[in-house]
Amino acid sequence: MVTSDDGPWPEPRDGQVRVMVLGTYHMDNPGLDEVNVEADDVLSDRRQAEIRDLVDRLADWEPERVAVERPYDRGDEVNDIYREYRDGDRAYDREEEFPAPHPDRNEPATECRSEVVQVGFRLADQCGHDRVAAIDEHPDPPSEDPFADREVDPARKTSVPVTDPQALEREANERLPDSTVPEYHAWLNREDNLRGNHDLMFDWSIRTANGESPAGLAHWYDRNLRMGHHLWRTMDPDDERILLLAGSGHVRVLRHLLTEAPMFCPVSPLPLLPDGE
């Protein structure tokens, strides 16, 4: 196990598939997370050059498969669109209209700006892959919203500080305009930032009042377990390196699950990203 300021990343064992887990922000502004970044237009000339730089860095790792946060059961639709980009029928640097293969959105002019297209498709395309791996799945929640309508015990009982979600969102939004896309991903994937979302989730769930089940946390782990399962379903027996692109809130739990799964070894993306602030 490699433990550093960047957190615990295990050493790969013989025969394990290395999975580089890159935490991203949602470039098309879906507004679906606890902490939402106000992304500027990634189709601008500046951001397109920076995204190409990010993809060049990731391509140096020579992944044999790119996994993206899109529904497994809509993988054929995702790859129909990917092939249109790969064949040159669509261009990464212009607005393209097509339905978003995402359970919560269907806005035809936004999906082309998503990190799935801009980073995932572009990386797979540059690496010469004939398809991407769609590995997401949203299990049925135990209620309309598993994080809503639950009383949280106000007692903390310890003095351990917890991340302020408004402060985290404010810093994310202040940092992005002055950062390049590779620099911003380096910051996102720092261990202190990765754990902020988990601090909030675990603090809320453990302090759920009156003995109620921490359903939101269970639902979140269920979703990530399914992502690991679909990662295995979409890989080929000779795959040795997979790059998994997902919202940064997924990274810590996916790292844990992939560390426990004997066929996988999670890998940090930080060595490929710019150093410093």
Could you read off the pLDDT of 194-225 as tens digits, one per residue?
888 788 878 877 887 555 566 778 888 999 99
Q: Tokens 């379903």, residue?
A: 233
Number of domains the chain contains? 1
| Distance from C-alpha of 89 to C-alpha of 66, rounded to nearest angstrom | 21
Dihedral, 107, 124, 79, 33 alpha carbons, nearest 10: -40
Q: Taking Cα atoms as reference points, which of 204, 215, 210 lies closest to residue 142?
A: 215
pTM, full prediction: 0.88
Q: Considering the domain boundaries, does residue 93 fall inside one?
A: yes
- Amino acid making up residue 118: Q
Q: How far apart are CA 141 and CA 137, in angstroms?
A: 12
Secondary structure (3-state) at 204: helix
Report the 10 Å Cβ neighbour count for 167.
11
Give the rounded percent of residues in the chain with a pLDDT score beyond 90.
61
Exposure letters 41-62 (e unless 16+ CB within 10 A, then b): ebbeeebbebbbebbebbbebe
The answer to the question of residue 182 being in a domain is: yes
186 within domain boundaries: yes
pLDDT tens, residue by residue, 66-86: 999 999 999 999 999 999 999
Give the pLDDT score at 5.
46
Q: How confident is the model at residue 1 (pLDDT cuts 50, 70, 90)?
A: very low
Residue 277 lies in a domain: no
Strand partners, 67: 133, 244
Residue range 108-130, pLDDT digits in tens: 678 899 999 999 999 999 999 99
Pairing of strands 65-71, 133-136: parallel
Residue with tokens 């754990």: 195
Q: How many residues does the chain have?
A: 277
> Would you say residue 231 lies in a domain?
yes
In this structure, the dihedral spanned by the alpha carbons of residues 228, 198, 243 and 104, taken in order and rounded to 10 degrees, is 70
- The domain in which residue 66 lies consists of 2-272
Please check whether residue 119 lies inside any domain of the structure.
Answer: yes
CB atoms within 10 A of CB 168: 17
* Residue 140 located in a structural domain: yes
| Nearest one of 188, 69, 77 to 119, comparing CA atoms | 69
Residue 115 covered by a domain: yes
